Amino acid sequence: MNLIVDVGNTLVKFAVFQEDELVEKIIVELFEFGKTQKNISINHPKIQKCILASVGKLSKEMVSELEKQYKVLILDSNLKFPFHNRYKTPTTLGVDRMALVSASVNQYPNDNVLIIDAGSCITYDFITQQNEYLGGAISPGIRLRYKSLHNFTANLPLLDTEIPEALIGDSTVGAIHSGVVNGIIKEIDGVIDEYLEKYSDLTVILTGGDANFLSKQLKNSIFANSNFLLEGLNFILEYNTH
């Protein structure tokens, strides 16, 4: 069994895999790391290997506790990845994006794949059917757009994420929801349309914290998978330890 530990800006995702099957997923705040990790080790004593992403967010003590129990693989650009990286600045490419591309290679081999990760930022990553990763794009995510309108203007309120009632906002609140959410939907659909003009046989994966919220509103056909990054990390662990 494998343990996947993905440390984000505020939350930690733990995932337990039995081969390719996700057995359990737990999401906690960083201060709950030690307690949660201990409970997982008790409930899943057969875990032998672990991959750790975003290690910089953890203290040395937290990392040490993992290393006492498991063979730990630290996710970085020096690992083996199952694709040809054509990114011109590979050392600046986020390892989370590399994990997403790895997941696409594992699950959609020999396909042209666009992976859209809708989280704090929206990232677009493209890999060809020749197994070449070309790059993509990065833009602000939903919450970042709401917060930017509030933080960089004098009078606009900070709103919770909400599907707009109409295209034409007839109040400041309605106008913000329309601008943020409709703007992102049009952006994503527009990006997909441009890729489809070049690659008609395109597979599109939508993942990340806002995937479910956005998937219901997109006109293009996509596969929504909120666990795609975790599946990619599990694949990288297996790919580097076999």
List, by residue number, the catalytic residues: 96
Q: Is 97 one of the annotated binding-site residues?
A: yes
Question: Can you tell me the distance from the alpha carbon of 18 to that of 169, in angstroms, rounded to the nearest whole number?
Answer: 48
Beta-sheet strand order (sheet of 2-7): 21-29, 11-18, 2-7, 49-53, 71-74
Q: Is 56 one of the annotated binding-site residues?
A: no
Q: Is 94 one of the annotated binding-site residues?
A: yes
Q: Is 7 one of the annotated binding-site residues?
A: yes
Q: Is 201 one of the annotated binding-site residues?
A: no
| DSSP conformation letters of 28-62 | EEGGGHHHHHHHHHHH-TT--EEEEE-GGGS-HHH
Q: Is 9 one of the annotated binding-site residues?
A: yes
Q: Is 6 one of the annotated binding-site residues?
A: yes
| Bridge partners of residue 24, in order along the sequence | 16
Bind-site residues for K(+): 117
Bind-site residues: 6-13, 87, 94-97, 117, 120, 172
